[in-house]
Structure 1
């Protein structure tokens, strides 16, 4: 039979009493603080990833959380990282001056004859070192008032009064000349003829009856006449754009007799050929002003995303 040793029991009791009590304390950390720590760690990781992607020949893409906003600090620095912007003018000379002054390697000018516009891409770059193509100069020539008025009139039916007023307004400015066949008609006579037009209608009907058949034919002719010779061709001479040379546009006059009052239509002959010639003239003007500092190409340029 085993008996407890009183001495051992007393020593154990003393040891327990001498051992300090362990106190557990719980600290409540707000969720916002935890979230801020996580976001801080994510931001540091994102900065490291971006730094690796942007330095030297780093990767082209980088994985970032979709709820991150990337803030550009360029505006806070003394200088921009690179030149970029869009200059625009209606005249060839300042367009060429700006393009030459701010061109970079690989810069080129594109002239679109169909829209009568030119664009210089100053940071196009090269195949080995392509640029961002976002530093440009735009040339957008403005139509002269006389040419714009002509285009507004072209191919649209106008009343006698409206067309007469158009001729009065632009007769001297555009040096209008009037012709009926090979004969020239003076401005006063052309105006008088347009203001006083008579519509003559003639109807002729033939009828033939036989024993087994019958036929009827009807002819109607409508003719516009005037006491003065009505011009059939009008020559309209003006500068189409400020920097371009004068050009003579030949207009064909036709009269519509189906309405209650006669309607007149002026139509530019060979307008497409004029447009092509003006585009080529603009390209040559730009090429001369650029002085060989960069290539001038016929066409347009659009940066692919």
Structure 2
């Protein structure tokens, strides 16, 4: 009596499944696995156990202190922390392992620092073309954070600087020169527009604030400019060396984490890591 093709296929699958089961059993793996005949895929049975085979997962926080505490609790010589200064984030991989004995790198903690309200408003103002009212109100709202100065670097009282911005005077003068020769005629014109205030305009101001919760207070230096091309004067305040300041804040975050991790063996790096 001959067997049909489906019966032969089932016998082959049963034999192959038995062989795979024997191989898995002899391997003595920590993770329980099962071979099934559906394309002979390997299936994990961990989800059916009372608990997981090993501790893993992702912890996320915006609190620097909680991040360092968690890292100190679970970190060791197989851990590393990577700091991204552009995003002001840090990620610790606890089971990174080593080159010779690499880990799964799936047990991690992530810190995402949040900008303070002061820094958010300052960055929104940076480079914005403002009307007099908008700039004056910003300086009044953050009077405790701002120190104004003249073009000579001398400090100006905030009340005087705000009054100067509210009372701008635009002066315009035009000078024309005409020259006529036998074979040509030339004409040139020079127009000068100047903004001034009897109160004494500030050349810029320093804005001091805590940029991110957990970092030290920092001073941002801004250059103040007045644009006179439109119907009404507009003002812009631009942060000097903003990119360099952002890099400094990233290094500060790394230094704070490196100092906090001294009791452990967690190394810190500027950069990111992907397994």
State the TM-score, normalized to the length of structure 2: 0.85
Q: Which has the larger radius of gyration?
A: 1
Of 79, 99, 103, the match for 1:107: 79
Q: What is the CA–CA distance in structure 2 between the aligned matches of 1:285 and 1:46, rounded to whole Å?
A: 55
Of 140, 148, 158, the match for 1:168: 140
Q: What is the CA–CA distance in structure 2 between the aligned matches of 1:155 and 1:40, rounded to whole Å?
A: 75
| CA-CA distance at 1:89 after TM superposition | 1.6
- Unpaired runs of 5+ residues, structure 2, are 1-5, 30-34
* Secondary structure class of the residue paired with 1:158: coil
Of 156, 161, 176, the match for 1:190: 161
The alpha-carbon distance between structure 1 residues 217 and 129, as it changes in their structure 2 partners (threshold 3 A), is same
The alpha-carbon distance between structure 1 residues 51 and 223, as it changes in their structure 2 partners (threshold 3 A), is farther
Structure with more strand by fraction: 2
* Matching residue of 1:60: none
| CA-CA distance at 1:42 after TM superposition | 3.9
| CA-CA distance at 1:38 after TM superposition | 6.0
State the TM-score, normalized to the length of structure 1: 0.77
* Matching residue of 1:225: 196
* Secondary structure class of the residue paired with 2:47: helix
- Cα RMSD between the aligned structures? 2.9
* Matching residue of 1:96: 68
Paired residues, number: 264
| CA offsets 1:132-179 (integer angstroms, 9 cap, x no match) | 11111111111111111111111111111111221121112x2x1111
The alpha-carbon distance between structure 1 residues 240 and 210, as it changes in their structure 2 partners (threshold 3 A), is same
* Matching residue of 2:245: 274
The alpha-carbon distance between structure 1 residues 69 and 221, as it changes in their structure 2 partners (threshold 3 A), is farther
* Matching residue of 2:181: 210
* Secondary structure class of the residue paired with 2:50: coil
Of 233, 247, 251, the match for 1:262: 233
- Unpaired runs of 5+ residues, structure 1, are 1-33, 58-62
* Matching residue of 1:139: 111
* Secondary structure class of the residue paired with 1:282: helix
Q: What is the CA–CA distance in structure 1 between the aligned matches of 2:247 and 2:72, rounded to whole Å?
A: 27
Larger mean Cα displacement after TM superposition, 139-148 or 181-190: 181-190
